[in-house]
Structure 1
Amino acid sequence: MAASVDTTLRRPSMAERRPSMAERRPSMNTRRPSVIPHLAGIEDPVFPSTPEDCDVLICGTGLVESILSAALSWAGTNVLHVDSNPYYGDTTATMTIEQIKAWCHNVNLNTPGFHGFAKALMYIPRPAKLNSRDYSIDLTPRLLFAKSDLLSLMVKSRVYRYLEFQSISNFHTFENDTFGKMSSSKEEIFTDQSLSLATKRSLMKLMKFVFEYDSEGNKQLMAEFGPTPFLKFVNDKYKLSDAQVNELCFTLGLAPTPDISTLAALARIRRYLISFNVYGSFPALYSKFGGPGELSQGFCRSAAVAGATYKLDSPIKSYDPSTQKVTFRDGTKVNVAEKVVCSASQAPEGAKNVPERKHQVNRLITIVERSCKEWFNEGESASVVVFPPKSLDSMNNYPVQVIIMGAGSGCCPAGQCIWYLSTIEKDQRGRKDLESALKKMEDSILRESEDGGFDVDLTEDDVIVRPDGSLSVINSVKLGKSFKEFAPKEKLTYLFKLMFTQFTSIDPLDSHTGAPSTTSFDDNGKNSIPGPDQGILYSQMPSTEISYDGVLAEVRALYTKIVGSDDDFFDVDFEDDDENSSPSGPPAGGVGAAAGLQDESAIIDEDGEEFKDEMDFEL
């Protein structure tokens, strides 16, 4: 109660009150130029001293904080953006091998700024083969769905111009000791010889329902079945096999747990389907040379153009809410007029109201001396592999998700590949699941490698003719045949292994829709334990999600707490000399092109017919 009285006594009267940020916004006649030029020098900012004043101080250059910095800066706010690390990205950083070594050391020492991670184990058997700067390794790997709020924001804000995107079209499921590519488009389902007519009909019915489940006509059905487990719903209503349900739920939907509800699973599957044919015949993209760490730097550049000041290697020591003064560890101080926003990983020493570490994801990152091109579609350098629950020798309770990055991604040298494996299974059980999945991947790539001595010929069942006359390989990776009896003639060479645990306060089932828990934000001492960080707004640790979904929801929540609403969030006319220009990379039409979204292009014929004549069945 005393603290509350003190706060009231310090509040200025209306007559002397400083204008709010909304009131101090520049008018349309005085706003900063809207064209974002290329920036030089932000990679290594050097300032002789910390500025004496700012409106908002943001600590941590993770993706959430970087987007927030750009949004506030373009709205006319004076932002000082710092990071306790000597590099950008914080918990979503993209690192070299040498940076990873130092990172592991700090994690295991429980160094301030690294509390979001634990139990980092690194193994480099052949150091001479690794040139540190040849590698870009993501702490928190992500893929970007073509139809997503974050991609739309990058196009609108022109941040995509700092990045280069490549497509991902191969999503593989491991089941019964085999790998297979999911038949998710209309033509693939029609031509898949392994599916019966009844199964094809059920799949088409379900995929059609995915687009309509939230319509008025399905309100009563979803009220009844929406909260129920998806696996039960789809088995009862559509009579699909376990393998097909796994492909839909865990590969297309990337569900992190078998406990997912019908409503949540349908939203995830639709996310995949509506992302097809937005910019090309693929559902997802990734940024070349690194994931969230690259995106973070893109938004930091945008913020710097709008006037934000950057300073790295500057951990904060304390914040005094009575004077609104922040003290950094080097003794310098800054007066903050509005708010302090801090990454949970960079909280001041002795902080009490940091978001709880309720959930975790175990990660295993490996660099293999193999091109792994058999996993990729033609012209691509990345793919996704999912091990559904109970598919591994360890009898995994949760899926293991894998993002594979080849040399074409710019993250490793030619002839090598990076595998990112993750699971929300905890502790040693989770690490066992990761090792079990790694062994299956090793066996499969040795079996299918171009120099592994195991040749597999494509058959006519593996190839379809597209409407334009071109050929497409359905099973682009011939991993659909069991390798139970396969005895490899060689061993896969590992150049690097890194295993660690990452913590988050975001529930895995909430990470897709992504509104963060507001109780973890401290608003002038409310809902918090008094401490030296009282009055700081904390951002969350990255979620367990392997997509970027939920990131923008958290940024908007923080923006609203600072400004009062998100009505003017990135409300800037970003002009450009060439409105039809597109970001670099292979996607046809480009991310910046005015490509129309065809929501049902994956399952509906252009002429409105739901099924081809030769299918010879009706709904």
Structure 2
Amino acid sequence: MNEEYDVIVLGTGLTECILSGIMSVKGKKVLHMDRNSYYGGESASITPLEDVYKRFNLPGSPPNTMGKGRDWNVDLVPKFLMANGQLVRMLLITQVTRYLDFKVVEGSYVYKGGKIYKVPSTDKEALASSLMGLFEKRRFKNFLVYVADFDENDPKTLSGVDPHKMTMRDLFKKFGLDENTVDFTGHSLALYRTDEYLDEPCITTINRIKLYSESLARYGKSPYLYPLYGLGELPQGFARLSAIYGGTYMLNKPIEEIVMENGKVVGVKSEGEIARCKQLICDPSYITDHVKKVGKVIRAICLLNHPIANTGDSNSCQIIIPQNQVKRKHDIYVCMISFAHNVAAEGKYIAIASTTVETNDPESEIKPALDLLLPIEQKFISISDLYEPTDTGTDSQIFISRSYDATTHFETTCDDIKDIYRRMTGTDFDFAEMERKKQDIFGDAAE
């Protein structure tokens, strides 16, 4: 194993696998190791169902009513892909889409006053929505039309707004939107987790709402996609990509030591041998003295034998419970998928509720979400620490990913990938450059 690599990657979580794929495509020699026997790290999908029971230390095996254990693929971290978002672009550019099949998530809902409502995200839906009164609907429609037409480089579309100076709070005021509308717009369209965005320049929020609307426009039911057989398929797809470009993969490799010289990484020791490298990418669990804890996330994986009430019997949906509705500082999320995605036995559903922990009784914090899911056949609770690196990697050349947050989409994960890429290469991740590279490598087959 005494070989020289440009990059060694530890852990096969999604962030690590995407970076491994991208670095391989860029011509780097990559070695990718994981101490686990399965792909995905924190973002794995666990099968069969018996293994999920074991993982959460539940006595006995699943009852027969749960169907075949092999029919289950249970995600540990619930996330959907924005149809027009960064991860889908990364999948298309790297052609990992060849290994995956996606389904559109059937609906996106928001919680208000104890009930759930479909999120209106087009002017037509806004006019039909029972979330708002008649006059508010018109104001909201005008706001959505403004956002859809908004083009930073065309002063005519700005209506006198300086998007880099005016706060989002003031833009909402300009359109006369009430508190409730602001709440669901910020949290279920712009997908903010807290209300800090209100006092920041409105350009970011406008772009986030545009992303939501454009993602929705692609498929119509919701802006979200989900891969058949579970999210564990994503890291495996990027692992295949890396392998095509000569990347080497090793599962079940205990990592004994990260070898440093003069404060800089020079290799990784496993089973007595050292593989040398110039740069190292890893998740926080591999190098605990270079990370700090920044919070906790609670996730409750709930197995159901029914769709969630008031979602029109959807086989999949997302529900956002904005913080203000339940007097919290962070939103609560529910992601639901089902047998329609080859992740559960026939007629069964998996709903995962998650939020950022704020008290000493995390389970009570997700009660509003769990109440929407009743009756629940089986529940698995996980509470995970959230870590972020304290080391930018400029000196050590060690680049550590952040833990997966409570959000139910991959945009924050993609921001982390682009951030690590920037620190590793000194240049921004350029989608256009990757597009061109793809053309060179795949020629016409890339279409």
TM-score (norm 1): 0.63
User: Which of 249, 261, 266 is equivalent to 1:310?
Assistant: 249
1:368 and 2:319 aligned: no
User: Which of 338, 346, 358 is equivalent to 1:406?
Assistant: 338
1:524 and 2:395 aligned: yes
- Structure 2, unaligned stretches of length 5 or more? none
Contact 1:397 1:425 in 2 (8 A): no
1:503 and 2:369 aligned: no
Query: Residue 67 of structure 1: CA displacement?
Result: 1.0
1:296 and 2:235 aligned: yes
Classify 1:280/1:181 alpha carbon distance in 2 versus 1 (closer, same or farther; 3 Å). Answer: closer
1:319 and 2:185 aligned: no
Q: Report the residue type matching 2:17 in the other structure.
A: S
Query: Residue 284 of structure 1: CA displacement?
Result: 1.7
Provide the rounded CA distance (Å) in 1 between the counterparts of 2:61 and 2:104.
32
- Name the structure 1 match of 2:276: 335
Provide the rounded CA distance (Å) in 1 between the counterparts of 2:55 and 2:4.
31
Contact 2:106 2:315 in 1 (8 A): no
Query: Residue 554 of structure 1: CA displacement?
Result: 2.8
- Name the structure 2 match of 1:609: none
- Name the structure 1 match of 2:357: 425
Spell out, residue by residue over 1:48-85, the C-alpha distance to the aligned partner (whole angstroms, 9 max, x if none).
xx463322111011111111111111222211100111
Q: Report the residue type matching 1:502 in the other structure.
A: S
Provide the rounded CA distance (Å) in 1 between the counterparts of 2:183 and 2:98.
37
Provide the rounded CA distance (Å) in 2 between the counterparts of 1:282 and 1:428.
35
Contact 1:81 1:311 in 2 (8 A): yes
Provide the rounded CA distance (Å) in 1 between the counterparts of 2:209 and 2:59.
37
Q: Which has the higher strand share?
A: 2
Provide the rounded CA distance (Å) in 1 between the counterparts of 2:257 and 2:306.
48
Contact 1:372 1:406 in 2 (8 A): no
User: Which of 8, 23, 38 is equivalent to 1:87?
Assistant: 38
Q: Report the residue type matching 1:391 in the other structure.
A: Q
Classify 1:301/1:313 alpha carbon distance in 2 versus 1 (closer, same or farther; 3 Å). Answer: same
Contact 1:373 1:406 in 2 (8 A): no
Query: Residue 404 of structure 1: CA displacement?
Result: 0.8
- Name the structure 2 match of 1:148: 85
User: Which of 572, 581, 588 is equivalent to 2:438?
Assistant: 572
- Aligned pairs for 1:454-603 (under 5 A) are 492-494=375-377, 496-505=378-387, 520-525=391-396, 535-565=397-427, 566=429, 569=434, 571-573=437-439, 574-575=441-442
Paired residue secondary structure (1:201) = helix
- Name the structure 1 match of 2:293: 357
Contact 1:344 1:539 in 2 (8 A): yes
User: Which of 323, 336, 341 is equivalent to 1:389?
Assistant: 323
- Aligned pairs for 1:49-88 (under 5 A) are 50=1, 52-88=3-39
Spell out, residue by residue over 1:241-279, the C-alpha distance to the aligned partner (whole angstroms, 9 max, x if none).
443333222222222123333535433322211212224
Provide the rounded CA distance (Å) in 1 between the counterparts of 2:251 and 2:416.
23
Q: Report the residue type matching 2:254 in the other structure.
A: P
Provide the rounded CA distance (Å) in 2 between the counterparts of 1:283 and 1:331.
48
Provide the rounded CA distance (Å) in 2 between the counterparts of 1:319 and 1:430.
35
CA RMSD of aligned residues (A): 3.0
User: Which of 220, 223, 240 is equivalent to 1:283?
Assistant: 223
Classify 1:135/1:193 alpha carbon distance in 2 versus 1 (closer, same or farther; 3 Å). Answer: closer
- Name the structure 2 match of 1:246: 183
Paired residue secondary structure (2:229) = coil
Provide the rounded CA distance (Å) in 1 between the counterparts of 2:111 and 2:60.
28
Provide the rounded CA distance (Å) in 1 between the counterparts of 2:152 and 2:274.
52
Contact 2:321 2:333 in 1 (8 A): yes
Query: Residue 301 of structure 1: CA displacement?
Result: 0.6
Mean alpha-carbon deviation: is it higher for 546-555 or for 85-94? 546-555
Query: Residue 410 of structure 1: CA displacement?
Result: 1.1
Provide the rounded CA distance (Å) in 2 between the counterparts of 1:389 and 1:555.
27
Provide the rounded CA distance (Å) in 2 between the counterparts of 1:135 and 1:286.
15
Paired residue secondary structure (2:196) = coil
Classify 1:173/1:560 alpha carbon distance in 2 versus 1 (closer, same or farther; 3 Å). Answer: closer
Classify 1:56/1:267 alpha carbon distance in 2 versus 1 (closer, same or farther; 3 Å). Answer: same
Q: Report the residue type matching 1:551 in the other structure.
A: T
Contact 2:308 2:373 in 1 (8 A): no
- Name the structure 2 match of 1:513: none
Paired residue secondary structure (1:575) = helix
Provide the rounded CA distance (Å) in 2 between the counterparts of 1:194 and 1:174.
10
Query: Residue 202 of structure 1: CA displacement?
Result: 0.4
- Aligned pairs for 1:81-230 (under 5 A) are 81-96=32-47, 97-101=49-53, 103-104=55-56, 127-130=63-66, 131-192=68-129, 196-211=133-148, 212=150, 214=152, 216=155, 217=158, 221-226=162-167, 230=169
Contact 1:62 1:91 in 2 (8 A): yes
Classify 1:239/1:438 alpha carbon distance in 2 versus 1 (closer, same or farther; 3 Å). Answer: same
Mean alpha-carbon deviation: is it higher for 260-269 or for 297-306? 260-269
- Name the structure 1 match of 2:213: 273
Q: Report the residue type matching 2:247 in the other structure.
A: A
Classify 1:204/1:420 alpha carbon distance in 2 versus 1 (closer, same or farther; 3 Å). Answer: same
Classify 1:192/1:56 alpha carbon distance in 2 versus 1 (closer, same or farther; 3 Å). Answer: closer
Provide the rounded CA distance (Å) in 2 between the counterparts of 1:332 and 1:100.
34
Spell out, residue by residue over 1:93-152, the C-alpha distance to the aligned partner (whole angstroms, 9 max, x if none).
1112344455446xxxxxxxxxxxxxxxx6889544444332111122111111112212
Classify 1:576/1:367 alpha carbon distance in 2 versus 1 (closer, same or farther; 3 Å). Answer: farther
Provide the rounded CA distance (Å) in 2 between the counterparts of 1:102 and 1:522.
37
- Which has more radius of gyration? 1
Provide the rounded CA distance (Å) in 1 between the counterparts of 2:122 and 2:404.
31
Provide the rounded CA distance (Å) in 2 between the counterparts of 1:125 and 1:335.
44
User: Which of 436, 454, 462 is equivalent to 2:368?
Assistant: 436
Contact 1:143 1:284 in 2 (8 A): yes
Query: Residue 187 of structure 1: CA displacement?
Result: 2.3
Classify 1:53/1:368 alpha carbon distance in 2 versus 1 (closer, same or farther; 3 Å). Answer: same
Spell out, residue by residue over 1:343-382, the C-alpha distance to the aligned partner (whole angstroms, 9 max, x if none).
11222xxx522x21213322111101224486357xx631
Mean alpha-carbon deviation: is it higher for 564-573 or for 402-411? 564-573
Contact 2:183 2:322 in 1 (8 A): yes
Mean alpha-carbon deviation: is it higher for 559-568 or for 204-213? 559-568
Spell out, residue by residue over 1:509-530, the C-alpha distance to the aligned partner (whole angstroms, 9 max, x if none).
xxxxxxxx7x5333334xxxxx
